[in-house]
Amino acid sequence: MARAIWSGSISFGLLNVPVKLYSAVSKQTVRFRELREGDGSRVKHKRVAESDGKEVPYEKIVKGYEYAPDQYVVLTKDELADLEPQRSRAIEIQDFVDLDDIDPIYFEQPYYLGPDAGAERAYALLVQALKESRKVAVARFVLRNKEHLAAIRPMGDVLTLTTMRFHDEVTSPGDLDGDVFEDAKPKKPDQRELDMAKQLIESLTSDFQPDRYRDEYREELLDLLERKADGKEVVSAPTEEPQPTKAPDLMAALEESLAAVRGDEAESDGKGKAKAKSGSGSKSSSKSKSSSRSKSSSSSNGRKSRSRGKSKARS
């Protein structure tokens, strides 16, 4: 059973809806321990002072802000505690906005909000009101001694809360011009190239299905660890980096990619009809779509992707 990591209430107007906060993600990071080469002994890290190399106990460590090279303003634990945001249990809604008005770059960590005991009716009311108005609530709340900006919106019959970055935490694209475009400003594309690129995008457009996208690196890493744990020999597969498409080759690459996608779609339609009779049409369709994307990428780059190269080397 999921455990709530925070409890409080959603507050707007005179309405207060008691809620509980639950994590919405389960990170699947593969974690390693640091070991000494040779005997596999665990390595521990110690806090030591730069001046004399002596270990510093935790209770003797203070926080310092470097305002100039090697010059610090030190704050005590009491001073930091006085500055901490008040531990309010309220998620205070500031505004209601359209979801399309919020650029995804502002989103950080997702959570679920569930109703607390006795708040089921008010909770359901807020869910339905947000659904029908097609609005997102922008709110403030305090979690783990830090004030957060958040977006609240419904997902089915459940409210989600996603913490957001504040405006001054997001770098404007205008501030990156000198770094992003080091050599020259991008030129306006040729209309024929633009039309062809839009056709290619349209031909590869489908509904978003999250389960189609896997962490291939993590899968390959776990497979490698499993094989090494079983004492099997590990052979490194050669990989090649895809080469950038040069400007004079843009049109040719677009035409070849589009032709490959259309050819694969026609082929998959024929196979799909034949296999549908035997009850395996859905699998054929999904495989053909996958192969069409892979072939399109291969033809436009002229090289195989890293993941395909590794899977072929294994087989």
Q: What is the mean pLDDT of residues 286-300?
A: 42
CA atoms in the 13 A half-sphere facing the CB of 271: 15
Average pLDDT of the residues of the chain: 81
Q: What is the pLDDT of residue 276?
A: 47
Helices (H) and strands (E) in the chain, counts: 8, 9
Give the tens place of pLDDT for each residue, 159-173. Answer: 999 999 999 999 887
Beta strands in the chain (DSSP E): 6-12, 15-23, 63-68, 71-75, 90-97, 107-115, 136-143, 146-155, 158-164
Does the structure show a pLDDT above 90 at 275?
no
C-alpha dihedral sign at 281, 285, 291, 292: positive
298 pLDDT more than 50: no
pLDDT band of residue 284 (cuts 50, 70, 90) is very low
**Residue pair 127/157 in contact by the 8 Å Cβ criterion:** yes
- Segment 110-115 shows an average pLDDT of 96
Residue 57 binned pLDDT confidence (cut-offs 50, 70, 90): very high
